[in-house]
Amino acid sequence: MAGNFLDTLKSQSVLNAARSGVTFGAVSPLNAPGYEAPVTASPARRTWFPSIRDARADTLSDLPFNRAASRELVRTNAIAAGAIRTNIDRIVGTGLALVAQPDRRVLGWSEDQQAEWKAKTQAEFSIWADSKDCDQEATLNFYEMQALQLGGMLESGDVFTLMPSGKRTKTQPYSLRLQSVEADRVGPEKLTAYDKRNEAGGVRFDPTTGAPSQFFLYDAHPGAWYSDADSSRGKGRWIDRVGQSGRLRMLHHFQKKRPGMVRGVPYLTPIVDCIKQIGRYTDAEIMAAVISAYLTVFIKTPAGDAAPAFAGEDVSVPTDGDIGLGMGAVVGLAAGEEPVTVNPARPNPQFGPFIESVMTQIGMALGIPRELLVKQFNSSYSASKAALLDAWVYFRGMRYWLAGSFCQPIYETWLTEAVSLGRIVAPGFFTDPLMRWAYTRASWPGDSMGSINPKDEVDAYTRAIDARLMTREQAEWQLFGTDFNQTFDQKADEIKRLAAADMLPAAAPGAAVQPQPSGAPTKEPTE
């Protein structure tokens, strides 16, 4: 009796939990520490059965579908393609450029020594980065690969970079190469195998620290169509993240949004269903508008014969009872038949406002204001400026992520090779970790945000420089996306040439007198 009573009580508890939107299982709110089953539930929860799962279970199970759906939408849907394109244009643009910033205080350098080493290092880096030799496939330079890797991460959730060693040549003294690896080429060693505690999604972790140590790289893409792909599908090898020499061999680029997350989630995942439905709705509205544009004239005659509408023009006479609609068609009807017109009431006046409302929600999910997402700035100057500034917070964060995940580790790997070859002089680089850290300091600025009112923004930056609140280098990067040090010589040369030709612009009323460059001619005072 006791057993039957307990079974009945348990069954009743399960029934009540199901009614309240709570599920039983290995991990559920009922058996999780600190949780109690709700006594009542709102109507919205009665058919809602969320479960508590770790980051791996929540992401890896749906990852193949989300990844495939995201790529298809980017190929076929204007909203998805525009969102990815906006990210790449605003975050990467022409590329995040190296600005070496060695810590001269740690290195014990003067300002001149720092400037000289900085110029030398950036010039050497350009030999490698500006050339397509840095790409294992010899198709992209370093800055173009930034756009490729960012786009791959956004579409697929993550992307990998292999860093093999290539052949040095007379024009390319560095052996470091980069190879982009799509997310699908890294996966479980056995396609049907379950994940393990220290191995999931093709990533193997150090059992002590939990840090990724190896990646399983397939020999062929699982979705490849070439003839010998079937023979190599599922076959591959483990690649060490760090080689025995301490050199990085493979980078994994994704945004870790939860503790324990091992693979990334596509950027469009929260809005995949919404974008797909919006695409269908748009196609339906376009079709309805096309149908409404088909103007057809139906003519009924006493004899049932079609009468020509225009002399010398052919008319369409149905012979089998079917009436075909066409642009400008004139159709004759049989005796007793009456025309029935269909008015689809298109274009739909509510289509535009509805799409704008949906785009606002999509922009909220993607971190991009609707104005920037649809490339329309119909609001006031203040509203447009606020939208750009809000978007810039997101883009700046993504630049920080790209610099830390892709640019900086690659730069440190390249600098290690440059120092070992003796092309960059860096005493203590291989013996003192603090010295190595000081040598590898760098920033990665990109294109400017752009401006709605350049005059006011330049004035604001000028005031900030005069107040010692920012440097000219910072201002030039943010305003124009150019390096102050790279343009300094050109600007100084222009001033000297203008002074020599007595073509320097006159100072504005009330402005401070600017010092003349050395060697500049002086004007004689006029009476």
The per-residue pLDDT for range 386-408, each reduced to its tens digit, is: 888 888 899 999 999 999 999 99
Q: In the predicted model, what is the mean pLDDT of residues 51-75?
A: 92
Q: In the predicted model, what is the mean pLDDT of residues 421-440?
A: 96
Pair type for strands 250-253 and 236-240 = unpaired
* Residue 173 and residue 421 in contact, taking contact as beta carbons nearer than 8 Å: yes
Phi, psi of 45 (to 5 degrees): -95, -10
Q: What is the pLDDT of residue 464?
A: 86
In terms of Cα–Cα distance, which of 339, 377, 374, 329 is closest to 356?
374
Q: What is the pLDDT of residue 342?
A: 60
Give the three-state DSSP class for 294: coil
pLDDT surpassing 70 at residue 10 = no
pLDDT tens digits, one per residue of 198-251: 899 999 999 999 899 999 999 988 888 776 656 666 789 999 999 988 999 999
| Terminal Cα-to-Cα distance of the chain (whole angstroms) | 122
Q: How far is CA 489 from CA 124, 198, 486, 526, in A?
A: 19, 55, 7, 34
Token pair listed for 292: 């409404």
Token pair listed for 400: 């920080």
Average pLDDT, whole number, for the chain? 81
Token pair listed for 35: 């949780």
Query: How many degrees, rounded to 5, is the angle at CA 115 between CA 111 and CA 117?
Result: 115
Query: What's 218's DSSP letter?
Result: E
In terms of Cα–Cα distance, which of 187, 190, 212 is closest to 202?
187
In terms of Cα–Cα distance, which of 142, 106, 90, 103 is closest to 411?
142
Q: In the predicted model, what is the mean pLDDT of residues 260-286?
A: 91
Could you please report the per-residue DSSP string of 36-64?
A: ---SS--GGGTT-------HHHHHHTTHH
Contacts within 8 Å (CB) and 24+ apart, 241-248: 241/212, 241/213, 241/214, 241/215, 242/213, 247/163, 247/413, 247/416, 248/163, 248/409, 248/413
In a 13 Å sphere around the CA of 256, the CA atoms on its Cβ side amount to: 8
In which region does residue 214 sit, left (phi positive, over 0), alpha (psi from -120 to 50) or beta (all else)? beta
Q: What is the pLDDT of residue 518?
A: 55
pLDDT surpassing 90 at residue 196 = no
Listed range (191-195, 351-355, 368-372, 479-483) with the worst mean pLDDT: 191-195
Angle of helix 381-402 relative to helix 78-91, nearest 10 degrees, comes to 70
Contacts of residue 254, defined as CB under 8 A and 6 or more positions apart, other chains included, come to 153, 157, 158, 159, 263, 264
Token pair listed for 526: 């006029």
In terms of Cα–Cα distance, which of 264, 268, 263 is closest to 87?
268
Element (H, E) at 266: none
Give all strands of the β-sheet with 212-218 in edge-to-edge order.
199-200, 203-205, 212-218, 236-240
Query: How many degrees, rounded to 5, is the angle at CA 109 between CA 107 and CA 112?
Result: 145
Higher pLDDT, residue 307 or 70? 70
Angle of helix 78-91 relative to helix 142-156, nearest 10 degrees, comes to 140
Q: What is the pLDDT of residue 390?
A: 87
C-alpha of 304 from chain center = 64
Higher pLDDT, residue 466 or 175? 175
Distance CA 451, CA 295 (A): 48
